[in-house]
Structure 1
Amino acid sequence: RSGAMSSSAGILSSVARVLDRATWIDLACDTLDVSDAPRAVEPHAVVDVKQRRGDLLRDGCALMSRKELLGDDDGDLELDALLQTMYAIRDAGLDPTWVYMYDATWRVVERFRASLEDECFGGAMTLNFDVLAWFVDPANDDKTTAFTPHRDRQPDNAPGSFHADGMAKYCTIWLPLTNATPRNSCLFCVPKGIDPGYTAGDSDDLDGPSPLEIALKDKAAYQSLR
């Protein structure tokens, strides 16, 4: 593949090279577009709103199928080409975030924005474009690429980060393109029911037990992990 012959040193050698559409189109072997005005994507939302809102209110997390998140027809999202381009980015020694150069990335973001923001949350949330990307090699279970346990956006006033009905005002979406496994990068969630800090916030006492120790206080609690 011509794209695999590129290197980070060559691609990042000048601002002009980075800003040249041809650089990124070549890296993707002419399978993905890079434009100033990407074509629009229809929502095609098929979210089970009642079920998913119930999951979020009860557990603070929800597992959604590819069909729910991306719709009945996701062929226009070019997921296979996007996945192969992620390999090309990796092979070129580039950080995975360079996948943001491609229109296809933002079509995926727009599809699940519409599915969740409009359908599931009824317009109560707005995409803030805080988008991150990692490369997870499904063929290498021994190489982890994950974070240590953490909370996303723990504010000083944790109770104030929820609506009156208990729905969180902030939601993180994780979308794997490769077959992530529990050994190499599968996402785990501690459900709301066993996590006192989810709504009340965590203690600032550095000498006390950690939030994870409080939530997973015995073997039975581990069975609740999602």
Structure 2
Amino acid sequence: RVDPMAQFRQQQAEAKREMVEEQARRSYENDLIAIEEGAGPAHLRDRNFWMQYSRGGLTIAEDPSTATVRALNEAGRAALTRNVGDLTKTADYFDHRGFSAVDAERLDWASVGVNFDAIAETMQALADNGLPPVYVMMFDEAWRFIEGLFEIVGPILRDEGLELESSLYGWALEVPELDAKKGEKIGQNFGVPHRDLSYTDSHMADGASSIISVWVPIRDATLDNGCMYVVPREHDPLFAAVEDRAHLAPHTERFPWQYARALPAKQGSVLSWHPNTIHWGSGCTTYADEPRKSIAMAFRVPQSRQPMPEKDLRSQRRLPFTKAEIQNGLSLHERVVFCTRCVYLYKVWHPTFDGLNKEKLGFGLN
């Protein structure tokens, strides 16, 4: 029998939770708007503020155009993938199975000035100070990493004119504690099997992919520290079934658990999947040598081939970055805006922005 008072208390608690989340969202959005307009906390526009979190020699050049791969070592672009060979087989695998991987052993990241140990240590320094790990994108090396990805991802998506969505995110997991809300902290794992988008929203009318999700472990991703899992396309009966109510809620019914595949990967490997491929990140265990750190993003075909939907443009607050924009270097202001937007975009995973050091950022969250 339903207890009316218990039901009432539950409704009250839910209403209070929603009110707190809405207040946090509005407050953060106000800070974001101020930053977008060139106002907001002045110290966020000071490179010295960010450099205090640099580890392993990460830099923020006074002139960002001098710190790109194109400026420093144009030949490095070819060297990055010289051991990869023809990516056509990788693209075919991606099309047929819904995911793919380019192993780190085949990539020469040093040739484009990318040091994943330094990036990982900087992500940890940010997290230790209550700053979201995605703010590692304040540093030049992180953008050289993105610049290099264009050379790898373009052939897999079969479009060299691909563009980077403004929806990048970074994770720095923690060794687990007995805390039910641990997953709601900024930069922590989201462990529910899900699709990022429907089949329709990630494919063109002819069935070709229009978007590719890319996930890169900044530290080795293992079975113990939180590797990714996917359900291969051939074992997903709802892969393209947009009319089915479970298409965007795949964990609720008829989930093919027996076909899930773990994707352990070495630091610097490039994993990719269709946005409508079922995937999820696993949590870090107490047996891990080091918690997983990773960066994920989405690339899409150019606007000339398929314009970004209006709803995505509203949520991301700008058009995707072209390769030329990345090669020209983003200014300090553009980087602050980018990182702050990315945190806001992922608010569904941390609705009260738990773990964010508001004082350090100068934000007015309640």
CA contact (8 A) 2:232 2:259 kept: no
TM-score computed with the length of structure 2 as normaliser = 0.48
Does 1:168 pair with 2:175? no
CA deviation map 1:17-73 (0-9, x unaligned):
2211111112215711113414222422235412211211111101221144xx324
Whole-angstrom distance in 2 between the partners of 1:29 and 1:211? 40
Whole-angstrom distance in 2 between the partners of 1:193 and 1:30? 43
Q: Offset at 1:189? A: 0.8
Other structure's SS at 1:150 match: coil
Whole-angstrom distance in 1 between the partners of 2:117 and 2:96? 34
Larger RCO (CA within 8 A; separation ≥ 6)? 2
Question: Moved runs in structure 1, 4+ residues, more than 4 A?
Answer: 141-144
Cα gap change, 1:215/1:120 in structure 2, threshold over 3 Å: closer, same or farther?
Answer: same
Cα gap change, 1:89/1:40 in structure 2, threshold over 3 Å: closer, same or farther?
Answer: same
Whole-angstrom distance in 2 between the partners of 1:109 and 1:23? 23
The partner residue of 2:193 within 128, 138, 149 is 149
Does 1:211 pair with 2:250? yes
Other structure's SS at 2:229 match: coil
Q: Offset at 1:177? A: 0.9
Q: Offset at 1:197? A: 2.1
Q: Which runs of 5+ in 1 are unaligned?
A: 1-13
Q: Which runs of 5+ in 2 are unaligned?
A: 1-39, 70-75, 263-366
The code of the aligned residue for 1:150 comes to H
Provide the aligned C-alpha RMSD in A.
3.0
Aligned pair count reads 200
Cα gap change, 1:78/1:224 in structure 2, threshold over 3 Å: closer, same or farther?
Answer: closer
The partner residue of 2:171 within 122, 128, 134 is 134
- Larger strand proportion, structure 1 or 2? 2
Other structure's SS at 2:211 match: coil
Other structure's SS at 2:222 match: coil
TM-score computed with the length of structure 1 as normaliser = 0.74
Cα gap change, 1:121/1:100 in structure 2, threshold over 3 Å: closer, same or farther?
Answer: same
Does 1:177 pair with 2:213? no
Identity percentage of aligned residues: 24
The partner residue of 1:110 within 125, 139, 147 is 147
Other structure's SS at 2:212 match: coil
Alignment of 1:52-131 (within 5 A): 52-68=90-106, 71-74=107-110, 76-118=113-155, 121-123=158-160, 125-131=162-168
Other structure's SS at 2:254 match: helix
The partner residue of 1:22 within 20, 27, 48 is 48
